[in-house]
Amino acid sequence: MNTRIKPRTLRSAPAAALAALVLTLGALPAATAQVQTNAIKPPVPRRADKVPIASYIAVLLVIAAPLAVNFVSSKRGHQD
């Protein structure tokens, strides 16, 4: 009866070789692809000189509303 255990590295070597082959074959199309000349460009802003006042007002309301609610008294007495 042979109770000797094979090291894990010898059993996983074929699996590692197969993984390396699959990764190499998977990267092959990307390595041979040609660069496209009509790349997508970011959009150009319409008016860069216009200040976004509506955004500033929205931020101010989001900050001011909870603060205003915090300062409103609760009308509760000391016996509650």
Q: Using one digit for the tens of pLDDT, what is the confidence trace for 12-64? A: 778 888 888 888 888 877 777 666 677 788 888 777 677 788 899 999 999 99
What does the pLDDT read at residue 58? 95
Residue scoring higher pLDDT (36 or 65): 65
What does the pLDDT read at residue 61? 96
The vertex-43 CA angle with 38 and 49, nearest 5°, equals 145
Q: For residue 65, is pLDDT > 90?
A: yes
CA distances 13 to 24, 39, 73, Å, are 16, 42, 73
Look at the chain and count its residues.
80
What does the pLDDT read at residue 10? 58
